Amino acid sequence: MRIDIISVVPKLMESFFAHSILKRGQEAGHVEVVLHDLRDYSLSKQRQVDDYAFGGGAGMVMSIEPIARCIRHLQSERSYDEIIYMTPDGDTFNQQTANYLSLQGNLLFLCGHYKGVDQRVRDMFVTKEISIGDYVLSGGELAAAVCADAIIRLIPGVLNDETSALTDSFQDNLLAPPVYTRPAEFEGIAVPEVLLSGHEAKINEWRFEQSVERTRNKRPDLFKKTGL
Ligand code: 6GU
């Protein structure tokens, strides 16, 4: 997979992709993440990428020309399965979307800033609009990083234990069960006995029941979706 990210502050994301699982995923050749500075595609001497909103009002709008130049440059090198605009008015990101995007070959993320991009960018280039929740961030960069992390860890081979993504919370609309490690007893509080039994079927049954209970109690909205 290849992920291109267009931003006015690419430096903000550099260190994020240079660490841990995301770094390993790139080093092992499972994914390539390339950051692009939108200002490199500006036509003005001052490398300007925004302008006043037609019709007035507070806040600047990201201009279409630099974005169009950048996207077309990238499209001349490869075709993109999705061109994703990160915006608080997009569709809320979830595990299902992460699963879908992890199966694609080339993804292009455009990070919004200021009052957002000229609507014609959305009409002409964007195939998917994503928000990470109902709150406003100062830019789409952190949101794009969140999505990229959720996507990259699903690519086969990126996680050490390939089955571990399958048992994540949300994969089947159920929250993950409680987990324990040594010591088996801490200040008089013991680990549930079944986990020490070595009886795999019983352990799986216990974990499933715990997942169901947790989801029912903490996330009744999710629980409804399980059909249980
Ligand atoms: Cl994608 N962008 C911004 N600026 N704020 C957000 C967001 C995105 N998702 C939630 N809040």
User: Can you tell me the mean pLDDT for 177-183?
Assistant: 97
CB-neighbour burial class of residue 26 (10 A; exposed 0-12, middle 13-18, buried 19+): middle
pLDDT at 22: 87
- Report the chain's mean pLDDT, rounded to a whole number: 95
Q: Specify the 3-state DSSP secondary structure of 27.
A: helix
> Would you call the peptide bond into 183 cis, given omega within 30 degrees of 0 as the criterion?
yes
Give me the residue spans of the domains in the chain.
2-152, 167-226
pLDDT of residue 61: 97
Q: What's the pLDDT band for 161 if we cut at 50, 70, 90?
A: confident
Q: Which CATH superfamily is domain 167-226 in?
A: tRNA(m1g37)methyltransferase, domain 2 (1.10.1270.20)
Which range has the worst mean pLDDT, 14-23, 87-96, 180-189?
14-23
Ligand 1 atom closest to the CA of 113, numbered from 1: 4
- Look up the CATH number of domain 2-152: 3.40.1280.10
The finding on whether 111 has its CB within 6 A of some atom of ligand 1 is no
Does the annotation place 112 within a ligand binding site? Answer: yes
202: CB partners within 8 A, 6+ apart: 194
136 is in an annotated binding site: yes
* 191-217 pLDDT per residue, tens: 999 999 999 999 999 999 999 999 999
In this predicted structure, the answer to whether residue 162 has a pLDDT above a threshold of 80 is no
